[in-house]
Structure 1
Amino acid sequence: MDVTPDKEKLIELAHYRMPFGRFKDRYLVDLPEAYLIWFKQKGFPDGKLGKLMASILEIKVNGLEPLIHKIQKDFPRRLR
């Protein structure tokens, strides 16, 4: 079983912003852990956003936010 992280997916995760609600436009990594836990209890949104929010919650629970902040710094968002 291959557990190697996908570089492009990690970069996308690091730069993904909340598209709605109280924390609109914040990076997912900067969302309060309690907010993510609330979503987990109620059900994450369907699709990509829900998967990314669940991933960020796991990252936060395991104290790995500095990894995401380093990715943000080392791989700045490319303008399209």
Structure 2
Amino acid sequence: MKPEDLKTLVTLAMPYGKYKGRLIADLPGAYLAWYARKGFPPGQLGVLLALALELDHNGLKGLLDPLRTDRKPPR
């Protein structure tokens, strides 16, 4: 994993499938686990899906919140 992969999780959308258009960081844990059993796709997408699964499985998805660009600024 590269540090920039974390930023990519909150900016890159799933390119196909049931969750097409949803940010990788927002994919459900069950879907990520299904991919783990099926086999992650090759390349960067597979690396990102595996990383998203690790964060979800270990309860660390909150670490991505400061990296999100879609957040509203605090008042």
Instruction: Report the residue type matching 2:66 in the other structure.
Output: K
Aligned residue number for residue 54 of structure 1: 50
**What TM-score, normalized to structure 1?**
0.77
Q: Which letter does structure 1 place at the counterpart of 2:23?
A: Y
**2:37 matched to 1:41?**
yes
TM-score in terms of structure 2 length: 0.81
Aligned length: 70
Q: Identical aligned pairs, as a percentage?
A: 45
Query: Structure 1 residues 21-30 or 62-71, which shifts more?
Result: 62-71
CA RMSD for the aligned pairs? 2.0
Which of the two has greater helix per residue?
1
The equivalent of 2:16 in structure 1 is: 20
Moved over 4 A (4+): none
Q: Which runs of 5+ in 1 are unaligned?
A: 75-80
Structure 2 unmatched ranges of 5 or more: 71-75
Deviation at 1:62, TM superposition (A): 1.1
**Deviation by residue 1:47-69 (Cα, 9 ceiling, x = unmatched):** 10000000000011111111112
